[in-house]
Structure 1
């Protein structure tokens, strides 16, 4: 799991200017639970009152990645990210920018803070790559906890191979809760253990759930006949003892989510036996 200490404090050597160093120190102070350095905030005209939007970012695209190596963004492009953020906000933005991940602190009262959705295309353009990010707004005294939660949510999005976009807590809260360690998650993972020898059944079930239990759409997506979908559903029910129906849709979604998250710890991202997990079924 990503942590600030291990992944987010990698120094950006080409940004070794006084400005970058001061902004890094400012961000580190907030992320470690310290107080705002008013002298730095006033010098750079960073709004210090109110809240910050914490943006946890991964410079990788889980929906297209085929390797377990994270995308590495060159130092020059990281400098471009700083410049783009400053241009958008009207002042230098405190941020820890590493070659694979970043933590960006956007003042909530700023133009970008009020329309945080605009940060995703801005970051994609500056990084020259699709990115996945999570944004959480927090009061100053809670920034450290918000950053930890944001990166935990980011980890969920990456392991579940969610689409590259900007997410909020509301959009990942269900998956986040399902994937927390404990006996509940262990039980959910065990539901699909009888299918481990049959990757085509796992893939079919994941597609069936993501298509709202629609046989026709699932068959088209998998390029098979509808009768094949029916046969595989019967095999899944027989092996797991769980009927594949609307009545079990949430349990099946939860089991697929827990399995994908746990296997993401051990298998390379993008592996064929870890299907991307779609959003939960509709009520």
Structure 2
């Protein structure tokens, strides 16, 4: 069962599932594989996931033009290793400045400075709801298809 498999993970790893009948087993495997890629690229916490958990990510990554445009938003950060690490830590901490600063072993004011720089480089403020959405989507698009 999914519950038992999730317990076996012990809070360390991801499990993706898709329900299909035997005739569509390959389709189910492909869906579960893509869900897993989205979960990992989106820096989601350990656990079990289905397509219902990644509907937004699934939708925008299916459209090449959207994916390309999103990846272009974040691509300039690749030239700034520290800013890239800061953004991924911020997303991984579920946008908690305190958690992100602790995970990076930096002072909160240093994190705030880096977040401002990310906004300057990308044109998206990672501390606003809209900016966080855009940058997270861009991070996923760039990670999967960059």
TM-score, normalization: structure 2?
0.77
Partner of 2:38: 156
Partner SS for 1:138 = coil
Matched, 1:261 2:125: no
Specify whether residues 240 and 222 from structure 1 end up closer, same or farther in structure 2 by C-alpha distance, changes over 3 A only. Answer: same
Q: 1:97-108 to 2 correspondence within 5 Å?
A: none
Between Structure 1 and Structure 2, whose CA radius of gyration is higher? 1
What whole-Å deviation, never above 9, does each CA across 1:136-180 have from its counterpart, x for those lacking one?
Answer: 122344333223222222343455565554322222333333333
Gaps of 5+ in 1: 1-111, 125-129, 264-283
* 3-state SS of paired residue (2:125): coil
Structure 1 partner of 2:98: 216
CA distance in 1, matches of 2:134, 2:42: 17
Deviation of 1:135 after TM superposition, in Å, equals 1.6
- Distance change in 2, residues 1:159/1:205 (3 Å): closer
Which sections of structure 2, spanning at least 5 residues, go unmatched? none
Q: Which has the higher strand share?
A: 1
Whose helix proportion is higher, 1 or 2?
Answer: 2
Distance 2:4 2:121 in 1: 46
Task: Report 1 or 2 for greater relative contact order, CA contacts < 8 Å, sequence distance ≥ 6.
Answer: 2
